[in-house]
Amino acid sequence: MDFYLPVLAVVLMAGLIVLTKPLHIHVTAKGHNGTARQSSHQLPTPRIGGICLISGYIAGLFVLPPAAFEIAVVLGISAIPVFLGGLGEDTGFDISPKKRLLLSFVSAGIAIALSGVWITDTGLPALSFLTFTPVAAITFTIILTGGISHAVNLIDGLNGLAMGVSLMIALGLAGLAFSVDDQAVGGIALLVTAIIAGLLVFNYPWGGIFLGDAGAYSVGHVLTWIGIILIARNPEVAPFAVLLMFFWPIMDMLFAIARRVLAGRPVDRPDRLHFHQLTMRAIELVLFGRKRRAISNPLATLVVVPLASVPIFAAQGLLYDNSLSAMVFGAFCLGYVVCYVCALMCARRFARVGHRRRA
C-alpha cells in the first residue's frame, strides 16, 4: 500500500496551520501557553493537530484495499463524537474531562453498533465475569476502550510523547496483524502509523504543533478498536498480547486516578506528577533548569518512549500465549511502580539539592 497521499495531506494541513498561526493562535493554543498547571511548554502553540490526522486518515481511505476500507470507515465514523468533543476543548469551548470521557464511551458504543464486534472473552477464567453475558461484555468493552482513548490523551504532555507512543502502538498492532496474515487490519495500522509520522515531524523536537485532545482521543479510539477487531477476526490472538500494546497509557491513567484519590482530590483535576513530567523535571534539575525547557522537554520524550515500547516489543513474541501475556503484563505493572517511585524520589531529591544551592 502506498501512503504518500495521506502523509502529504497531513503535512500540507500541518504546514498551513503553522504558517497561519498568528491568525488563530488566540483560539488554538488553549492550555499550552505555559500557565496551565499540567503544561510542560512555554510558548503558545496550536493544539489542533487532530485536524491534520483526520485529513490524512480520510485521504488514506482512498489507498486502502476494499476489505480494509470497510473497517477503516467504521472506525472513522465511530471516532466522530470523541473527535468533536476534543476539538471543542482544543478551541476553547471548555469540554470537561468527564464530558470527553463520556464522548469516548459514545464513540465506543457506535463502533460496537457499526461493527457488531465487542470483547467476548479475556482469555482468563478469573476474569470471565467481565464478559459473562452480552450486556456485561458490551459494557466492559465500552468502559475499557473509552478509558484507553482517555488514557492516550493523558500522556500528551511532552513534545512527541503521545505521538511517539501511539506510533509504536500502531506499529506493534501491525506486527501482530501481519503475523496472523490479516492484511486488512495490518494495513489500517500502517495507515495510522504513516499519518502520525507525518505530524510528528512538526511536533518533535521543538513543538511546532500539538496533537490536542481531538487528536489524542481519536488516535486512542482508533488504535484500541484496531486491536479489538484484530482479536475478533483472529481468535488465536491472545487478548492480553494486544492489551500489552496499551500498557503505558493504561498505567499512567491508573496511577493518576490512584494518586488523586489518595490525596483526596477530584480524579479529573490535572496535576504535574505523571511519569513523563517527573522525568522532565529531573532532567531540568540535573542538567538545564526550567529556563531550558525547550531542551529538557524533548529529552524526556527520548527517555519515556523507549520505556513505553518495551511491552509492545514483548507482545510480538507472546501472540498466541494469553496466560504468559497476562503474567508479563503483571510483571510490567510491578516494574512501572518501581520506576515511578524511583522517578518521584529522584525528582524530590534533586529539587531539595537545587533549593539548597539557591539558598
Judge whether residue 224 has pLDDT over 70: yes
Q: How many domains does the chain have?
A: 1
- 50 close to 14: Cβ distance less than 8 angstroms: no
Hey, what's the torsion of the CAs at 253, 255, 259, 260, to 10 degrees? Answer: 10
Report d(CA 68, CA 345) in Å as an integer: 47
Non-local (6+) Cβ contacts of 326 within 8 A are 123, 124, 240
Report d(CA 207, CA 41) in Å as an integer: 9
pTM over the 0.85 mark: yes
Instruction: Quote the cell numbers at residue 27.
Output: 483560539
Q: For 311-332, what is the mean pLDDT?
A: 96
Q: Which among 37, 46, 41, 33 has a CA at the least distance from the CA of 293? A: 41
**For residue range 118-145, what is the model confidence (pLDDT) as tens digits?**
999 999 999 999 999 999 999 999 999 9
**For residue range 173-204, what is the model confidence (pLDDT) as tens digits?**
999 999 999 999 999 999 999 999 999 999 99
Residues spanned by the domain of 15? 4-358
Q: How would residue 37 be classed by pLDDT, with cut points 50, 70 and 90? A: very low
3-state SS assignment for residue 179: helix
Number of Cβ atoms within 10 Å of the Cβ of 270: 17
Report d(CA 335, CA 16) in Å as an integer: 42
Instruction: Quote the cell numbers at residue 134.
Output: 452480552
Hey, what's the torsion of the CAs at 200, 221, 81, 99, to 10 degrees? Answer: -100
pLDDT at res. 354: 58
Report d(CA 286, CA 75) in Å as an integer: 44
Q: For 250-259, what is the mean pLDDT?
A: 91
- 220 close to 108: Cβ distance less than 8 angstroms: no
